[in-house]
Amino acid sequence: MVILVCGPALFAQNQTIIDRIIAVVDKEIITESELRERVALVALQNRLDPGNTEFRNQILDGMITEKLVLAQAILDSVTVTDEEVTGALNQQLQNLVRQAGSEQRVEQYYGMPVSRIRREYRDDIRKQLLVQRVRQTREASLIVSRREIEEFFATFQDSLPRVPDQYELSNIFVTPKPDSNVEQQSYARLRAVLDSIRAGGDFADFATRHSQDGTAASGGDLGWAKRGTFVPEFESAVFSLPEGGLSDIVKTEFGLHVIQLLERRGESVHARHILLRLDRGPASDSAAVQFLRSLRQQILKGSSFEELAKKHSEDDETKTLGGDLGTITLDQLEPEFAGVVEKLEEGQVSEPHRITLKNTYGFQIVWVRKKIPAHAMNLTDDYRRIEQIALYVKKNRKNAEWVEELKKTIYWETRL
């Protein structure tokens, strides 16, 4: 998993601490502040004590291992493309925005605008992808035979966790549509702003006063970005502009934009924009809920859930599968979603409820196709699950052996 470690805002209270190098691995260094940040992040995610010395040493060992693998990746001439880095960075930023609730909160947490976060962490993401690529290449050929699985189960049977309740689920998801009157008003408002800029108005001033995202304070400045950074509609518009050119109004999943291209260097652009979000009010939510209720009634009367999902669901990842979400345990779901599923019996379809999906929210109905009660693992019902655990253990053992070999060939030292 690619991660962005927490930014300077979290450690503002520790600014009097002098940073120092605590480990060197080949040409890479690990500083005291980097270790503090990683310890705080992992402790926060796992509710652990960041002051525990053993925990801190485990994190440092993990960081040294990452640097060793990175050094080997460079020796092996492993590469990742700019598009892969951009995609991983975009995905991580989307996850952060979803967890924090808004771009503004992410910017407050990191102490910098999103455009700067992209620049600051791009090289870190590239290095993490290189480490992943090396590990994936090494692990690709690793398998566990049936004999290994059976021996693993015989050895660890008593210590394997119980399988919790499992649910085979399908969903139909829809997003509320902005009220047409609201959208027309937003178009008219942004059209007036665009006309004023074309008449000689200062773009940055209008962005500061009107834009509804985290770039407003910097006059809408998005910084430098490579092709593949933006959503398709925005990217098509910005790469079609001449330097200094203004776009017409562009609609994306985020709202309505006016874009100005400041400078272009090959497949990289420096642009700024003004964004008006298309807020959806109670009437939009109500219409989405009523639509899902009508679908639910059709299902209760005998219509196919799968066919209705293929026709009406807006969850692109599941609609072609008839809404199939796979087999899921409650701890894999958001608390609100889990609460809905937990109350359903096998074969039941839920009432519409609100959920968050990617960069937006919407409403869904869920069908519990099958409910599998909690039980102790056994080779008959849980062979694939046991196989995955056995393979995971084998990969960890092989990786640990490999890292010990790397320590003999790649220079490293700690300076604690």
Pair type for strands 353-357 and 255-265 = unpaired
* pLDDT of 15 higher than 90: no
The stretch 142-150 carries a mean pLDDT of 96
What is the distance between the alpha carbons of residues 93 and 222, in angstroms, rounded to a whole number?
15
pLDDT in tens, 357-402: 765 689 999 999 999 999 999 999 899 999 999 999 999 999 999 9
Return the pLDDT at 359.
59
In 3D space, the residue among 394, 378, 397 whose CA is nearest the CA of residue 386 turns out to be 378
* pLDDT of 208 higher than 50: yes
Look at 116-120, 157-161, 387-391 and tell me which has the smallest mean pLDDT.
116-120
Return the pLDDT at 8.
40
Look at 62-76, 94-108, 171-185, 313-327 and tell me which has the smallest mean pLDDT.
94-108
Look at 136-145, 218-227, 329-338, 355-364 and tell me which has the smallest mean pLDDT.
355-364
* pLDDT of 245 higher than 60: yes
Mean pLDDT of the chain: 89
Return the pLDDT at 10.
40
- Asked if 329 and 164 touch (Cβ cutoff 8 Å), the reply is yes
Q: Which residues pair with 368 in a beta bridge?
A: 169
Would you call 165 helix, strand, or coil by DSSP? coil
- Asked if 63 and 206 touch (Cβ cutoff 8 Å), the reply is no
Half-sphere exposure of 204 (CA within 13 A, CB side): 7
Higher pLDDT pick, 247 / 356:
247
The stretch 243-247 carries a mean pLDDT of 95
* pLDDT of 13 higher than 70: no
Domains of the chain in sequence order: 8-141 (1.10.4030.10), 145-159+378-411 (no CATH), 166-177+281-372 (3.10.50.40), 180-276 (3.10.50.40)
Return the pLDDT at 25.
95
pLDDT in tens, 49-65: 888 999 999 999 999 99
Give the whole-number percent of the chain exceeding pLDDT 90. Answer: 65
Helices 114-139 and 82-100: crossing angle in degrees, nearest 10, is: 120
* pLDDT of 1 higher than 70: no
Rounded to 5°, the CA angle 50-55-60 comes to 100
What is the distance between the alpha carbons of residues 172 and 185, in angstroms, rounded to a whole number?
31
Compute the Cα dihedral for 80, 81, 83, 85 and give only its sign.
Answer: positive
> Residue 347 belongs to what H/E stretch?
none
Please give the distance of CA 81 from its chain centroid, rounded to a whole number: 19
Residue matched to tokens 């400045």: 221
> Residue 409 belongs to what H/E stretch?
helix 383-409
Return the pLDDT at 117.
85
Give the whole-number percent of the chain exceeding pLDDT 70. Answer: 95
Buried b (16+ CB within 10 A) or exposed e, 10-28: beeeeeeeeeeebbbbbeb
pLDDT in tens, 277-335: 887 778 889 999 999 999 999 999 999 999 999 999 999 899 999 999 999 999 888 88
The stretch 104-132 carries a mean pLDDT of 86
Fill in the DSSP letter of residue 402: H
Pair type for strands 268-276 and 28-31 = unpaired
- What are the angstrom distances between the C-alpha of 46 and each of 247, 258, 391? 46, 42, 24
